Amino acid sequence: MSEAAAARTADDGPLAIICGGGSLPFAVADAVGKRGRRVVLFAIRGWADPRRVASYPHHWAAVGQFGWFCRLAREEGCRDVVFIGSMVRPAIWRIRPDFKTLRLLPRIYGIFRGGDDHLLKGVAAIFEEHGFRLLGAHTVAPEILMPEGALGRERPSERDHSDIAKGLALLNASSPFDVGQAVVVADARVLAIRGRHRSDARPHRGASSERAYRRGLGTRRVGQGGKARPGSTA
C-alpha cells in the first residue's frame, strides 16, 4: 500500500474487525493502528482469545447476531469491515439469530448450500446491502501476506518451475468451481489437491509416492479473487 493510500485509509473512519481465533486478527489490528486508523474488534465467542481481545476496543458476539453488529458498528462509526481469524463453518442450527438474522434466515440457508467462496460472497452481499463495505485483510494490512519468491536458501530449478506452472494452471482452472486452494506437484505429476474437508490429501501409494510427495512443490491460491502463488509444502 502506498503512503497516499495509507493516508486515505486513516480518514475512512474506524475499521470493524470481526475476529475469529488465532493471532492474525491482532496482527491486522496492530498494522492498521500503526497507520493511524482506529480499530474495533467484534470478537466471536468461543473463538477469539479473550486475553488478547481485552487490549483493544471491542464487543463480544455469538454467530448469528447480525442486527447487534449493525447497531454497534454504526454507533462506533464503522463502515469498513474485515473478517479475519480461524473459525470452522458453523452448522446452521448452531447459529443463535437475533431478529434481523431471523429475517435473513432463508437467504442464509441458501448461501450455506455451497462452497466457501459462495458463502463468503453471499455474506459480503448482505453486509454491503446494509451499508457496510467488506474488505480483504490484505488490503488494509498488506504486510501480513507472504512475499513472493523463495524464502530460504533453496531456489527452484527449471524442473521445479515446470511443476509450479502445472500447479498454478490446475488451481486457476478449478477455482471457478470453488474447489482446491492448494496442490502438490512433483515430477510433472499432481500428487495431492486440498479438498474441502482435508488439508493434507496425501497419497498413500507406497514409498516412491511418499518420497515424491516430500520432494514436491506446494502451490496455494491466496487472496479473494487473487492469482495463485507458489508456496511450500507442509
Which residue do the cell numbers 480461524 mark? 86
Q: 139 and 165: one domain?
A: no
User: Tell me, what's the pLDDT at 211?
Assistant: 52
Q: Are strands 217-221 and 189-193 parallel, antiparallel or unpaired?
A: unpaired
Report d(CA 35, CA 40) in Å as an integer. 15
User: Tell me, what's the pLDDT at 105?
Assistant: 82
114: confidence class by pLDDT, cuts 50, 70, 90: confident
**Domain end position, chosen among 116, 143, 170:** 143
The CATH number for 132's domain is: 3.40.50.20
Please work out, in degrees rounded to the nearest 5, the angle formed at the alpha carbon of residue 80 by the alpha carbons of 75 and 82: 110
The CATH number for 220's domain is: 3.40.140.80
pTM for this prediction: 0.70
- DSSP type of residue 175: G
More confident residue, 75 or 150: 75
User: Tell me, what's the pLDDT at 30?
Assistant: 97
Q: 173 and 97: one domain?
A: no
- 29: containing domain: 3-143
Segment (H or E) for 53: helix 50-53
Q: 133 and 199: one domain?
A: no
User: Tell me, what's the pLDDT at 221?
Assistant: 52
Q: 105 and 218: one domain?
A: no
Exposure class string for 104-122: b at 16+ Cβ within 10 A, else e: beeebeebbeeeebebbeb
Number of domains in the chain: 2
**Domain end position, chosen among 143, 167, 194:** 143
149: confidence class by pLDDT, cuts 50, 70, 90: confident
